[in-house]
Chains A and B, each alone.
Chain A
Amino acid sequence: MNKNNSLPKLYRWASFLCIILIWTILSFLIEHRLFASPLSVLNDIWYHLAEGELIDDTLITLARAGTSFAIAMILGSIIGYLLARIKKLDYFFDSWVIIGLNIPAIVLVILFYIWLGLNEIALISAVVLNKIPIVIVNIREGTKSMDKSYFQIAKVYQLNNFQIWRKIILPQLYPYLMTSARTGLSLIWKIVLVFELLGRGSGIGFQLQVFFQFFDISSLLAYSIFFMSIILLIENYIMIPIEKKATHWRKL
């Protein structure tokens, strides 16, 4: 095994074990039902998994987050690209984007729940509107900073549109798309939980609200830690490998 490769992993695991150790010691010292120990949280994860509700709620929340994420990424990328390419559109919509960036997420969801009712469409619309401005700004800047000299090659050698998109435009936009995707994922799942807590009858956010009402800290942490682990798995096994594949040439 390569020593240099194994060293960061070793430190990460040591750091993780350190957190568990501090948490365990604190739970022994405080010894209060509102400060659950790691063991009781682990027991609760197992219990809720065995009951099946944790899996169901996780899938519901992931479906909401995934749908919102996909819509926001697709629409945001298209709009961002168009704003960068058509100056007049950019001048017109720039202030809209700035307003979109600064509207508090909570305001949007309250408005949508009032206008559209406490349903999936209202939740997803609010999440999408929260995320879209960030994608637009990223892709707009990425498109503006594309190297024009590469388009000279396309012109001289008469590349077709498919080749231009696949070999010239998208490789230059990948870093911006990946930044949008990764920041988007971390933002969206947190917003979805809050919005579920406010107005839905299912999902992780809704369950957290129930546990809050019963002061069931152990279950609350069990749900939170399980869901965070799923997001970390998505980040580590889907997002990071895609990013590495798309930008592998940079590290050579």
Chain B
Amino acid sequence: MIDISIKNLSKDFLLPDPKNKEQYKNLNVMKDFNLNIKNNEVVALIGPSGIGKSTLLNILSGNDINYKGEININRSIENKKLSFIFQSHNLLPWLTAYENIKLVCNTESLEKDSASQILNEVGLEDFINSYPNNLSGGMKRRVSIARAFVNKPNILLMDEPFVSLEKPLANQLRKQTISLINKNKVTAILVTHDLKEAIMFADRIIFCNNSPMKIYLEKEIKLNNDPIYDNDEINGIYQEIIGNDSSILKAK
């Protein structure tokens, strides 16, 4: 069953013309872009910076409404719940970890005190009353992951959620996020530049090129073992993808 359907999506940006600062020129980021994502499928989007991957997530999340085309999110899902793990943690600094999560809770989550439960689940039970200023980078990221899952979302958007983190911490958070994705059975889109990360998360990897953004390769991924960054299976698939088509390196 199709969960997210994107048909003929087009998006333009007005940018200052480098030759004449008084004038603006139109940048066509997406033109007739099409993508279907199945129920409970995790799709990773890989492509060079600035081609419109984050713009696509902003459109899907409702943060960008200036586009042409059709976005359909399966209405059979009752009370569609969408979540977003942003590139930066985006925690409100004047609220504690608990308050940051409670703010986004729906009525059902408030009744069950899901905010405390999810903070326990990500190992932050001792920091629920801490302000973001007092948390380490990894802890802030964990709070933002907890926030994304507190309402048991149906759809999860992730915009390079583990970028600029140290490798061991990034691996720990990837593992935690994959476990939450599996537990909640969400349909997810991950935007990343890291092919190994994409292999860990995704059922399908979509490689995109720029100006305007278009899909030039899709690869189904099936892992037999637990997804662990840099393990033999992930490295094997990585080599297989790179070996098949060296142009994919451009999308790394």
Interface residues of A (CB under 8 A from B): 149-150, 152-153, 155-157, 159, 163, 167-168, 171, 249-250, 252
Contacts and interface: CB of A to CB of B under 8 A. Distances in A.
Interface in B20-78: 58, 61-63
A200 to B, nearest CB: 43
Nearest to A168: B92
B248 interface: no
B131 A249 contact: yes
A163 B105 CA distance: 12
B90 A149 contact: yes
Given A159-B103, A167-B103, A152 B92 contact: no
A150 B90 contact: yes
13 contacts: A150-B90, A150-B92, A152-B90, A153-B90, A153-B92, A155-B63, A156-B62, A156-B63, A157-B103, A157-B151, A167-B103, A250-B93, A252-B133
Interface of B (DSSP majority class) = loop
Contacts of A163: 103
A153 B104 contact: yes
Contact of B92 (A156, A171, A250, A252): A171
Interface stretch (B79-87, B113-121, B189-197, B238-246): B79-87
Given A152-B61, A156-B62, A249-B131, 19 more contacts: A149-B88, A149-B90, A150-B92, A152-B63, A152-B86, A152-B90, A153-B103, A153-B104, A156-B61, A156-B63, A156-B83, A157-B103, A157-B151, A163-B103, A171-B94, A249-B94, A249-B95, A250-B93, A250-B133
Contacts of B83: 156-157
A157 B109 CA distance: 13
Contacts of B151: 157
A42 B82 CA distance: 68
B134 interface: yes
Closest 8 CB pairs of A and B: A157-B104, A171-B94, A156-B84, A249-B94, A249-B131, A156-B61, A155-B63, A149-B90
A90 B134 CA distance: 38
Contacts of B58: 152
Interface residues of B, number: 20
Nearest to A151: B63
Contacts of B95: 167, 249
A167 B92 contact: yes
Contacts of B88: 149
A249 B86 contact: no
B180 to A, nearest CB: 17
A212 B170 CA distance: 74
A250 B132 CA distance: 10
B90 A159 contact: no
A167 B103 CA distance: 8
Q: Which of A149, A153, A156, A252 has the most CB of B within 10 A?
A: A156
Contacts of A168: 92
A252 B130 CA distance: 9
A156 B134 CA distance: 26
A252 B95 CA distance: 12
A209 B226 CA distance: 86
A164 to B, nearest CB: 10
Given A149-B86, A149-B88, A252-B133, A159 B61 contact: no
Contacts of A157: 83, 103-104, 151
Contacts of B131: 249, 252
A105 to B, nearest CB: 36
Interface in B110-167: 131, 133-134, 151
A155 B90 contact: no
Contacts of A149: 86, 88, 90
Contacts of B93: 249-250
A252 B133 CA distance: 7
B126 to A, nearest CB: 16
A163 B92 CA distance: 13
Nearest to B90: A149
A250 B93 CA distance: 8
Contacts of B134: 252
